Structure 1
Amino acid sequence: MTDSDSGFVGFVKAFARRQYFWGIVAIILLLVVNLLKDPTYLAITVSGSGNLVGNLIDILRAAAPIMMIAVGMCLVVATGGIDLSVGSVMAVAGAVAMEFLASAGGSVASAFGALGLVILVSGALGLVNGLLVSVVGLQPFISTLILMLAGRGLAKVITGGQNTAANNEAFNWIANGRVLGLPVVFILALIIVIVVGLVVRRSALGLMIEAIGMDAKAARLAGVNRRALLFAVYIVGGILAGIAGVFATASVMTVDISRTGYQLELDAILAVVIGGTSLAGGKFNISGAAIGALLIATLDKTVVFLGVSSSATPAFKAIIIVVLCLLQSERVRNLIRRRRTVPDVTKEVVPV
Structure 2
Amino acid sequence: MNGSKGSGGALRRWVQSPIFWGAVAILVLLALNVAKDPGYLAISVNPANGNLVGNLIDILRASAPILMIALGMALVIATGGIDLSVGSVMAVSGATSMVFLKGAGADPGAAFAALGLALGISAVLGLVNGVLVAYVGLQPFISTLVMMLAGRGLAKVITGGQNTNAENGLFRWIANGYVFGIPVVFLLAAAVVVIVGLVVRRSALGLMVEAIGINPRASRMAGVKPRGLLLAVYTLSGILAGVAGVFAVSTVMTVDVSRTGYQMELDAILAVVIGGTALTGGKFSIAGAAVGALLIATLDKTVLFLGVSSSATPAFKAVVIVVLCLAQSERVRAWFVRRRRAEGAGQPGQLPQTALLKLAGERKETEA
Larger C-alpha radius of gyration, 1 or 2? 2
Is 1:43 matched up with 2:42? yes
Output one character per residue of 1:67-97: Cα deviation in whole Å (capped at 9) or x when no partner: 0000000000000000000000000000000
What amino acid is aligned across from residue 346 of structure 1 in structure 2? Answer: G
User: Aligned residue for 2:349?
Assistant: 346
User: Aligned residue for 1:19?
Assistant: 18
Is 1:32 matched up with 2:31? yes
Q: Aligned-pair distance for 1:15? A: 1.8
What amino acid is aligned across from residue 149 of structure 2 in structure 1? Answer: L
Is 1:276 matched up with 2:276? yes
User: Aligned residue for 1:257?
Assistant: 257
Is 1:205 matched up with 2:205? yes
User: Aligned residue for 1:161?
Assistant: 161
Q: Aligned-pair distance for 1:347? A: 2.7
In terms of mean alpha carbon deviation, does 97-106 or 257-266 score higher?
97-106
User: Aligned residue for 2:194?
Assistant: 194
Alignment of 1:19-98 (within 5 A): 19-47=18-46, 48-98=48-98
Within 1, Cα distance between the matches of 2:110 and 2:230?
32
TM-score, normalised relative to structure 2: 0.92
Within 2, Cα distance between the matches of 1:340 and 1:268?
36
Q: Aligned-pair distance for 1:331? A: 1.5
User: Aligned residue for 1:267?
Assistant: 267
Q: Aligned-pair distance for 1:346? A: 3.4
Q: Aligned-pair distance for 1:63? A: 0.3
Within 2, Cα distance between the matches of 1:215 and 1:8?
34
Alignment of 1:90-169 (within 5 A): 90-169=90-169
Superposition RMSD in Å? 1.6
User: Aligned residue for 1:216?
Assistant: 216
User: Aligned residue for 1:297?
Assistant: 297
What amino acid is aligned across from residue 88 of structure 2 in structure 1? Answer: S
Within 1, Cα distance between the matches of 2:5 and 2:37?
38
Q: Aligned-pair distance for 1:18? A: 1.4
2:18 partner SS: coil
Q: Aligned-pair distance for 1:208? A: 0.2
Q: Aligned-pair distance for 1:12? A: 3.3
In terms of mean alpha carbon deviation, does 16-25 or 212-221 score higher?
16-25
Q: Aligned-pair distance for 1:7? A: 6.7
Give % identity. Answer: 67
Q: Aligned-pair distance for 1:337? A: 1.6
1:327 partner SS: helix
Within 2, Cα distance between the matches of 1:172 and 1:199?
29
User: Aligned residue for 2:366?
Assistant: none
Output one character per residue of 1:271-292: Cα deviation in whole Å (capped at 9) or x when no partner: 0000000000000000100100
Within 1, Cα distance between the matches of 2:40 and 2:8?
32
Q: Aligned-pair distance for 1:186? A: 0.3
Q: Aligned-pair distance for 1:235? A: 0.2
2:188 partner SS: helix
Within 2, Cα distance between the matches of 1:151 and 1:268?
17
Within 2, Cα distance between the matches of 1:6 and 1:39?
40
Within 1, Cα distance between the matches of 2:332 and 2:8?
23
Within 1, Cα distance between the matches of 2:226 and 2:214?
12
User: Aligned residue for 2:328?
Assistant: 328
Within 2, Cα distance between the matches of 1:53 and 1:231?
41
Q: Aligned-pair distance for 1:329? A: 1.0
TM-score, normalised relative to structure 1: 0.97
Within 2, Cα distance between the matches of 1:94 and 1:253?
9
Within 1, Cα distance between the matches of 2:76 and 2:244?
16
Within 2, Cα distance between the matches of 1:179 and 1:165?
25
Within 2, Cα distance between the matches of 1:330 and 1:77?
21
What amino acid is aligned across from residue 13 of structure 1 in structure 2? Answer: R
Within 2, Cα distance between the matches of 1:7 and 1:219?
34
User: Aligned residue for 2:317?
Assistant: 317
Is 1:181 matched up with 2:181? yes
2:44 partner SS: strand
1:261 partner SS: coil
Within 2, Cα distance between the matches of 1:306 and 1:20?
25
Output one character per residue of 1:270-317: Cα deviation in whole Å (capped at 9) or x when no partner: 000000000000000001001000000000000000011111110000
